[in-house]
Amino acid sequence: MGNKTGRWGIAAAVAAAVVLLIATAMSPVGAYIRGIDPNELSAWVRSFGWLAWIVAILLIALQTFAPFVPFVLLAGANVLVFGFWGGFAVSYLSACAAAVAAFALARALGREWVESRFGGRKGFARMQRSLERNGFFYVLMGRLLAFVPSSAVNYAAGASGVKLRSFTLATLLGKLPIVFAECLVGYDVMHMHENKGRLLLMLAFIALLAAAGQAFRNKLLIKEEQRG
């Protein structure tokens, strides 16, 4: 009974945080953030002084639970505020921590709740079945190739039998090159005259991953049809 009560207490706390984040996204603050460019966003974050890193972490968490802006926009702003390596560290660690929080929320609330909220989304059920077979591999591929939305990976993994350790390790490994590339893109867009060649290279890399993700998704569809 104690474990169950504790689990629901954690779920309630995380759920309250998620509601607060989503409310922020829908508020005038969220609308303001959605309508500005990285330079304006970075100036806004920097205006908080020593609290800027906390604001940056909260924005990444907000984007994880309610993706109101592209991640690359926040990554670019963080790089402008904290420098490349500082911005990368804040973006990467915050994204991984928020993904684990979403996983924990789904695990605490249970499979039925997750399926009632997200089961109707295209590819969600297929992702769950894949995770049941090889959780680490499919979380890793989901991070690297993004053949399904990142939020779907978090919730589907939490509602399946994937172990927290496997999910966390796959997330840490999979998000590393992607967040690094998005930070580079965000930085180079702001310094295009200096790094045009690298920017094109990173954009080509991201496009290649997107194409590979689509191919991987098609392969999964074929396997599902064969099993069916």
- Quick one: tokens of 91? 């973006």
User: If you ran DSSP here, which 8-state letter would residue 48 be given?
Assistant: T
Distances (CA, A) of 54 to 48, 51, 94, 172, 228: 9, 5, 10, 21, 48
DSSP string for 63-123: HHHS--S-HHHHHHHHHHHHHHHHHHHHHHHHHHHHHHHHHHHHHHH-HHHHHHHHTTSTT
SS3 category, 47:
coil
pLDDT tens profile 5-54: 544 554 454 444 444 444 444 444 444 444 566 778 888 899 999 999 99
- Quick one: tokens of 213? 């993700």
Q: What is the mean pLDDT of the chain?
A: 75
pLDDT tens profile 34-47: 456 677 888 889 99
SS3 category, 163:
coil
pLDDT tens profile 202-222: 667 767 766 666 666 666 555
Domain borders along the chain are 2-227
Q: Give the pLDDT of residue 88.
A: 95
